[in-house]
Amino acid sequence: MEVGMAFSFFSVGIMADEDYSFESSDAGASETFPMEAGQIKKGGFMMIKGHPCKVVSISTSKTGKHGHAKCNFTALDIFTNKKYEDIVPSTHNCSVPFVSRAEYTLLDISDEDYVSLMDDSGETREDIKLPLIPEGFGEEIRADFDAGKQLSVTVLKACGIEQIISKKEDNTGDKQ
């Protein structure tokens, strides 16, 4: 009898007519797409253990008596450069991240390490911080900017993460 009361107590606590609000800014767009493991090439991208990675080597084992040919992937996380490995049957699907890169002109760096960036169309953004990886890269960008250098940076975007991955001195304003 007590078990029945405990059950009814818990069932009363859950209201079916409660409204829950979930917000999403990606309009249902996925951050990855499926691709057969055998179709992924060296230099391509794939997800390994939840990390967007660039494939640096692939070795394929032949079909044996116990199943499919297998692809052995070695890849580097595109943001941290950490090495990951995965073995997947060549006919199985892997998740491949949508990866994009964009070039920006560096306008300013805040005291909190947020960068002010402008794209080719003149749109500005201030939502990206100086990179922490590789170590010292963010400080190098700040030192070059403080020295008065005009810098262009490349921002890599994948899986909802955006990070500055490279910089170069922009000399386009000097040539006339």
pLDDT in tens, 138-154: 999 999 999 999 999 99
Lookup: tokens for 176:
């006339």
Does the 32-97 domain belong in CATH 1.10.4030.10? no
Tell me what pLDDT residue 6 has. Answer: 43
Q: Is the pLDDT of residue 22 over 50?
A: no
Q: What is the mean pLDDT of the chain?
A: 84
Q: Is the pLDDT of residue 72 over 50?
A: yes
Identity (one letter) of the amino acid at 173? G
The domain at 99-169 falls in which architecture? Answer: Beta Barrel (2.40)
pLDDT-derived band at 111 (thresholds 50, 70, 90) equals very high
* Structure confidence by residue, pLDDT tens digits, 30-59: 899 999 999 999 999 999 999 999 999 999
Q: Dmax over Cα atoms in the chain, in whole Å?
A: 90
pTM: 0.74
- The upper half-sphere exposure of residue 72, i.e. CA atoms within 13 Å in the direction of its Cβ, equals 4
Percent of the chain with pLDDT over 70: 81
Lookup: tokens for 125:
């953004």
Q: Spell out the alpha helix ranges (H) of 48-167.
A: 137-146
Q: Where are the domains of the chain?
A: 32-97, 99-169
Tell me what pLDDT residue 29 has. Answer: 63
pLDDT-derived band at 3 (thresholds 50, 70, 90) equals very low
